Amino acid sequence: MSGGVDSSLAAALLKKEGYEVIGVTFRMWPREECGASVGRACCNLEAVTRARAVAENLSMPYYVFDFSEEFKKQVIDYFCEQYLKGLTPNPCVVCNEKIKFGLLHEKALSLDADLIATGHYARLGFNKKTGRHILKVGKGGGKDQTYFLFSLSQGQLSHAVFPLADYTKEKTRALAKKLKLTTFDTVSSQDICFIQDSDYAGYIRKKTGVTIKPGEIVDKDGKVLGLHKGIPYYTIGQRRGLGIAHSEPLYVIAIDRKSNRIIVGAKKDVLKKSLIADNLNWIAVDGITAPLKVKAKIRYNHKEALALITPVGPDKVRVDFDVPQEAPTPGQAVVFYDKDIVVGGGWIKEVL
């Protein structure tokens, strides 16, 4: 329970269906950092107070688990390391896999719980023919969150429950208000929960002590156009904040960590047709041994696009899009779909 409307309604719906429900909130930061201003929509004292109030209203036990040490190792350290390597990480995917459906499962067993429920907008199913648990796009339209859940294992999916599978966000708020849940109008989190002001580079500098060095901004031919503030300030496809006057808009098209250079180009230069993905997780199938036609999604807010995925090595596929896609980014997840079913996904290693 994050203290938001989604998890609050999920708990209420399960109670209504007759489940014995236990509310849990994670403390993601050391106690001295968990002030009211820490975190955008979850884990801070205000969020814990809201979640506890909902639990009391629903007459259910409620616990706060201190996962701050594990969260730092599994999520924050990963986030910082990836940015310092010139990659663009996705901590929400890692948090779901390692914390919400990983570490929490161990804690759930200690409470004699059988299932883990969250407020994600996604559906679950089971394919009797293949004997595999499947993950499907939520029926609520634009709020589908399967992209963030692609790395869950069969074991994790077998213990998961998504009560909001068939809901829209609007329906969720309306029902929460009808049920008199005090969280019905809470603001949804729009960014990474552990960073307050979108200052990723400042956060990384504070957490790691690493000196972020400025360097050159160059075009595709290596011509120096200006200076950048440090690699963690930039990501592929970025247009704003480059500080360069040019005859046409410029975009970040590559990051060269070794030479500490940001490479820029025109809009057409961020359109790419192929990429390599590794660290794969398959959900609907055991794996693939031949090319497979899918729809692929390279970012959460990115529209799925037709693509052919081809195995090119152990735990590695090549993804060839029918139409070039804007700014596929190393470090981000790419998720594969067959209609409304998540086939699997992986992490973008290289853009070709």
pLDDT digits over 242-295, tens only? Answer: 999 888 999 999 999 999 999 999 999 999 999 999 999 999 999 999 999 999
Report if residue 202 sits inside a domain. Answer: no
pLDDT at 30 over 70: no
193 is an active site residue: yes
What are the phi and psi torsion angles at 173 (to 5°)? -65, -45
Tell me the per-residue pLDDT of 157-180, one tens digit each, with 9 for 90 and over: 999 999 999 999 999 999 999 999
Give the predicted TM-score (pTM) of the model. Answer: 0.93
Pair 167, 30 in one domain: yes
Q: Given this model, what pLDDT does residue 46 score?
A: 86
Report if residue 324 sits inside a domain. Answer: yes
Give the structural domain span for 298: 271-351
Q: Given this model, what pLDDT does residue 36 score?
A: 44
Pair 30, 167 in one domain: yes
Pair 89, 223 in one domain: no
What are the phi and psi torsion angles at 260 (to 5°)? 55, 45
Q: Given this model, what pLDDT does residue 70 score?
A: 95
The CATH number for 63's domain is 3.40.50.620
Pair 30, 170 in one domain: yes
Q: Given this model, what pLDDT does residue 193 score?
A: 80
Radius of gyration of the chain (CA): 21
Q: Which of 43, 80, 92, 193 is catalytic?
A: 193
Report if residue 156 sits inside a domain. Answer: no
Residue with the bigger pLDDT between 111 and 265: it is: 265
Pair 113, 173 in one domain: yes
Q: Which of 34, 80, 92, 95 is catalytic?
A: 95
Report if residue 151 sits inside a domain. Answer: no
Pair 223, 289 in one domain: no
Pair 63, 174 in one domain: yes
Which of 2-6, 148-152, 280-284 bottoms out in mean pLDDT, i.e. has the lowest?
2-6
92 is an active site residue: no
pLDDT at 26 over 80: yes
DSSP 21-49: --EEEEE-S-GGG--TTSSSSSSSHHHHH
pLDDT at 33 over 60: no
Domain count, the chain: 3
Pair 319, 219 in one domain: no
Residues of the chain with pLDDT > 90: what percent? Answer: 82
What are the phi and psi torsion angles at 265 (to 5°)? -160, -170
Q: Given this model, what pLDDT does residue 194 score?
A: 81
pLDDT band for position 154 (50/70/90)? very high
Pair 235, 344 in one domain: no
SS3 63: strand
Pair 30, 68 in one domain: yes
CB 288 within 8 A of CB 311: yes
Pick from 93, 97, 193, 98: which is nearest to 147 by CA? 93
What stretches of the chain show up as alpha helix (H) in DSSP?
Answer: 5-16, 45-57, 68-71, 77-84, 91-95, 104-110, 154-158, 169-178, 200-208
Tell me the per-residue pLDDT of 311-327, one tens digit each, with 9 for 90 and over: 999 999 999 999 999 99
Report if residue 158 sits inside a domain. Answer: no
DSSP 239-298: -TT-----SS--EEEEEETTTTEEEEE-GGGGEEEEEEEEEEEESSSS--SS-EEEEEES
Q: Given this model, what pLDDT does residue 346 score?
A: 98
The CATH number for 288's domain is 2.40.30.10
Q: Which two tokens stand for residue 247?
A: 């005859």
Single-letter amino acid, residue 55: A
Measured CA to CA, the distance from residue 78 to residue 76 in angstroms comes to 5
Pair 282, 334 in one domain: yes
Report if residue 140 sits inside a domain. Answer: no
